[in-house]
Structures are given as C-alpha cells and as structure tokens.
C-alpha cells in the first residue's frame, strides 16, 4: 500500500466522518482507494485499516497468486 500525505489543514471537513473543523491531512492512496481526501487523524487510521483488509489490486499480485 502506497500512501502519500500531501498537505496539512488546521481546520477542515473530514471526507470520511464528515465532521467540520477537524485537523486534517490530504491523503492519496496509490491504488486509487482515496485520492486527495482530507482526513482527520482518526479516520486516516481507519482508512488504512480498511484498505489493508481488502485484497490486493490485480497489478500487485505475484505470478504465483494469479
């Protein structure tokens, strides 16, 4: 999983929980799970856990798994 944090927001609306006035970061998941999403720290951890539980994208599987 490739996760890139590109920006920090002192006060923004979280994309995941939709709460306003939260300290957020802009997150981009390399596989397109979320792109340029403002996430509070709590929701960022949840998003990483959710994505980690999902099966890997077909392009990341080894030849033996296909």
pLDDT digits (tens, 9 = 90+) for 18-43: 999 999 999 999 999 999 999 999 99
- Domain boundaries, position 28: 3-56
DSSP string computed for 40-59: EHHHHHHHHHHHHHSPPPGG
Q: How many domains does the chain have?
A: 1
Q: Kindly report the pTM of this predicted structure.
A: 0.76
pLDDT at res. 1:
80
Say yes or no to pLDDT of 58 above 70: no
Q: Does a structural domain hold residue 64? A: no
For the chain, give the number of residues. Answer: 66
What confidence category does residue 54 fall into, taking pLDDT thresholds of 50, 70 and 90?
confident
Quick check: is 66 in a domain?
A: no
Distance between CA atoms of residues 28 and 5, nearest Å: 6
């Amino acid at each position: 999983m490739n996760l890139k944090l590109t920006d920090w927001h002192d006060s923004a609306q979280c994309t995941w929980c939709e709460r306003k006035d939260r300290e957020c970061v802009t997150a981009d998941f390399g596989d397109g799970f979320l792109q340029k999403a403002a996430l509070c720290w709590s929701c960022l951890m949840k998003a990483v856990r959710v994505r980690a539980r999902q099966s890997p994208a077909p392009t990341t599987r080894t030849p033996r798994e296909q």
